[in-house]
Structure 1
Amino acid sequence: MYLKPSIHKRCFPTLQESVLHLCPVVAKSGNVDICPYKDNCRFSHNVEAFNAEKPDDLEGSCPFLGDEAPCPYGLACRYSGTHCNDVRAETLDVKKKGSEVNGLKKDVQKLLWKNKMRFPKADAKLKLLGLLGQNLKTKTVADKEEGCQNVSNGSSSCDKNGRCEEPDDSTSRINLPGDSMGAIDCSLEVAEKDVDIDTTSADGERRPLKKPKSLANESCSPFEETNGTSLQKKSVEKSCSQSELVTVTDNVLTETESSMKLHPREKKLIDFREKLYLAPLTTVGNLPFRRVCKVLGADVTCGEMAMCTNLLQGQASEWALLRRHSSEDLFGVQICGAYPDTVARTVELIEQECTFDFIDINMGCPIDIVVNKGGGSALLTKPMRMKNVIQVASGTTDKPITVKVRTGYFEGRNRIDSLITDIGQWGASAVTIHGRSRQQRYSKLADWEYIYQCARKVPDALDVLGNGDVFSYLDWNKHKSDCPKLSTCMIARGALVKPWIFTEIKEQRHWDISSGERLNIFKDYVHFGLQHWGSDAKGVETTRHFLLEWLSYTCRYVPVGLLDIIPQRLNWRPPSYFGRDDLETLMSSDSSADWVRISEMLLGKVPAGFTFTPKHKSNAYDRAENG
Structure 2
Amino acid sequence: MVRAGEAHIKEEFLIEKPILPAESLPDPRNAQNSGPSTKRKKGQNKKRRAYQQPASQMLCQFLIKDSECLLKERCKKSHDKQEFLSRKGPDLGDECVNFKLYGVCNYGIACRFGSNHLDKDLSNIMDVELNEKMKIYEVKRTLQKEIQSKLRSKHVWFKRSYQYFEENGIDFSNELQNHLSKFLTKRQKTVESDRILKTENNSIVNGNGTDNASLNRKESNSTPEKEDVHKLTAKGVYDEIKDEYYCLKTKSKRTLDLRGKLFLSPLTTVGNLPFRRICKEYGADITCGEMALCEELVQGQMSEWALLKRHHTEDVFGVQICGNNPVMTAKTCELINSECDVDFIDLNVGCPIDLVFNRGAGSALMDRASKLEQMLTAMVQVSDIPVSVKMRMGTCESKLTGIGLCERLKKTGISHITVHGRTRQQRYTRLADWEYIRKCKEAADPVTLFGNGDILSYEDYNMSQTFTDSVMIGRGALIKPWIFSEIKEQKHMDVSSTERVEMLKKFTRYGLEHWGTDTSGVEKTRRFMLEWMSFLYRYIPVGVLEVLPQKINERPPYYHGRDETETLMCSGNCEDWVKLSELLLGKVPDDYNFIPKHAANSYSK
TM-score by length of 2: 0.75
2:64 matched residue in structure 1? 27
Matches of 1:425 and 1:621, distance apart in 2? 37
The structure 1 residue matched to 2:330, chosen from 344, 351, 367, is 344
2:245 matched residue in structure 1? none
* Conserved? CA contact 1:119–1:183, under 8 Å: no
Change (3 A) 1:412 1:44: same
Q: Which amino acid aligns with 1:465?
A: F
* Conserved? CA contact 1:464–1:487, under 8 Å: yes
1:76 matched residue in structure 2? 110
Show CA shifts across 1:299-341 (max 9, x none): 1000000010111222111111111111111000000000000
1:603 matched residue in structure 2? 585
State the secondary structure of the residue aligned to 1:434. strand
Say how many residue pairs are matched. 492
Matches of 1:90 and 1:584, distance apart in 2? 40
2:399 matched residue in structure 1? 413
Show CA shifts across 1:91-119 (max 9, x none): 7x999995213522222222222233221
Matches of 1:16 and 1:568, distance apart in 2? 43
* Conserved? CA contact 1:117–1:183, under 8 Å: no
Show CA shifts across 1:63-110 (max 9, x none): 11323432111111111123263846897x999995213522222222
The structure 1 residue matched to 2:540, chosen from 536, 552, 558, is 558
Structure 1 residue 127 displacement after superposition: 1.6
Show CA shifts across 1:495-543 (max 9, x none): 0000010111111110000000001111111110011110000000011
1:212 matched residue in structure 2? none
* Conserved? CA contact 1:72–1:96, under 8 Å: no
State the secondary structure of the residue aligned to 1:177. helix
2:517 matched residue in structure 1? 535
Structure 1 residue 44 displacement after superposition: 3.5
Q: Which amino acid aligns with 2:584?
A: L
Structure 1 residue 456 displacement after superposition: 1.8
* Conserved? CA contact 1:60–1:79, under 8 Å: yes
Q: CA RMSD in A?
A: 3.3
Matched, 1:468 2:424: no
The structure 2 residue matched to 1:177, chosen from 151, 175, 178, is 175
Q: Which amino acid aligns with 2:421?
A: G
Within a 5 Å distance, the mapping from 1:100-139 to structure 2 comes to 100-133=139-172
Q: Which amino acid aligns with 1:379?
A: L
Within a 5 Å distance, the mapping from 1:410-489 to structure 2 comes to 410-460=396-446, 462-480=447-465, 482-483=466-467, 486-489=468-471
Matched, 1:591 2:573: yes
The structure 1 residue matched to 2:78, chosen from 41, 44, 49, is 44
Matches of 2:369 and 2:386, distance apart in 1? 21
* Conserved? CA contact 2:352–2:424, under 8 Å: yes
Taking CA–CA contacts closer than 8 Å with sequence separation of 6 or more, which of the two structures ends up with the larger relative contact order?
A: 2
Change (3 A) 1:246 1:73: closer
Within a 5 Å distance, the mapping from 1:219-258 to structure 2 comes to none
Q: Which runs of 5+ in 1 are unaligned?
A: 1-14, 137-175, 187-226, 229-238, 250-260, 623-627
Matches of 1:405 and 1:102, distance apart in 2? 29
* Conserved? CA contact 1:307–1:336, under 8 Å: yes
State the secondary structure of the residue aligned to 1:436. strand
Within a 5 Å distance, the mapping from 1:27-426 to structure 2 comes to 27-28=64-65, 31=66, 34-35=67-68, 37=70, 42=75, 43-83=77-117, 85=119, 87=124, 99-133=138-172, 177=175, 182=179, 268-426=254-412
State the secondary structure of the residue aligned to 1:101. coil
* Conserved? CA contact 2:343–2:386, under 8 Å: yes
Change (3 A) 1:403 1:342: same
Q: Which amino acid aligns with 1:26?
A: L
Show CA shifts across 1:155-188 (max 9, x none): xxxxxxxxxxxxxxxxxxxxx6358x747899xx
1:577 matched residue in structure 2? 559
Deviates further, 575-584 or 421-430: 421-430
State the secondary structure of the residue aligned to 1:72. coil
Change (3 A) 1:68 1:376: closer
* Conserved? CA contact 2:148–2:300, under 8 Å: yes
Matches of 2:499 and 2:55, distance apart in 1? 44
Q: Which amino acid aligns with 1:466?
A: G
State the secondary structure of the residue aligned to 1:433. strand
2:485 matched residue in structure 1? 503
State the secondary structure of the residue aligned to 1:374. coil
Change (3 A) 1:243 1:573: closer
Change (3 A) 1:420 1:45: same
Change (3 A) 1:613 1:244: closer
Show CA shifts across 1:350-386 (max 9, x none): 1222110000000111000000000000000001100
Change (3 A) 1:17 1:118: closer
Matches of 1:408 and 1:51, distance apart in 2? 56
* Conserved? CA contact 2:109–2:124, under 8 Å: no
Matches of 1:107 and 1:617, distance apart in 2? 40
Matches of 2:180 and 2:331, distance apart in 1? 11
* Conserved? CA contact 2:63–2:69, under 8 Å: no
Change (3 A) 1:372 1:102: same
Structure 1 residue 246 displacement after superposition: 5.6
Identity %: 43
State the secondary structure of the residue aligned to 2:526. helix
Show CA shifts across 1:116-154 (max 9, x none): 322111111122221133xx7xxxxxxxxxxxxxxxxxx
Change (3 A) 1:69 1:111: same
Change (3 A) 1:410 1:587: same
Q: Which runs of 5+ in 2 are unaligned?
A: 1-52, 184-222, 225-229, 240-249
* Conserved? CA contact 1:123–1:132, under 8 Å: no
Deviates further, 323-332 or 404-413: 404-413
Change (3 A) 1:97 1:244: closer
